[in-house]
Amino acid sequence: MKTNFSTIIGSEKLILIDFFADWCGPCKALAPILKDVKKELGDQVRIIKIDVDKNQALAAQYQVKGVPTMVLFKNGKQQWRESGVLQKNNIISVLKAHI
């Protein structure tokens, strides 16, 4: 997973990682919001969901202490991160600032 993950976040395209867990209520609330964000921004951003229970080493590497945590990467560098559920417009404005 690690080499694959490095390749993914190394992209010039914006990559939004959603660290989530199946048991997490706020994560379930965030899922449809992220679908709407993807619909609106299309190919300008790639959104990837990572289950922290199945990828504990990766979650630890990025110091994900709570879920949901969104981390934005571009060219392999972290551009932004936020924990909790944000509204669609907030997420879109953050992403547009980095496109």
Residue 5's CB is within 10 A of a number of other CB atoms, namely 18
Query: Can you tell me which residue has the tokens 């209520």?
Result: 25
User: Which of 8, 24, 31, 48 is an active site residue?
Assistant: 24
Q: How far is CA 4 from the centre of its chain?
A: 16
User: Which of 27, 45, 50, 67 is an active site residue?
Assistant: 27
24 catalytic? Reply is yes
Residues in the chain, overall count: 99
27 catalytic? Reply is yes
Q: How far is 99 from 83, CA to CA, in rounded Å?
A: 21
Residues annotated as catalytic are 24, 27
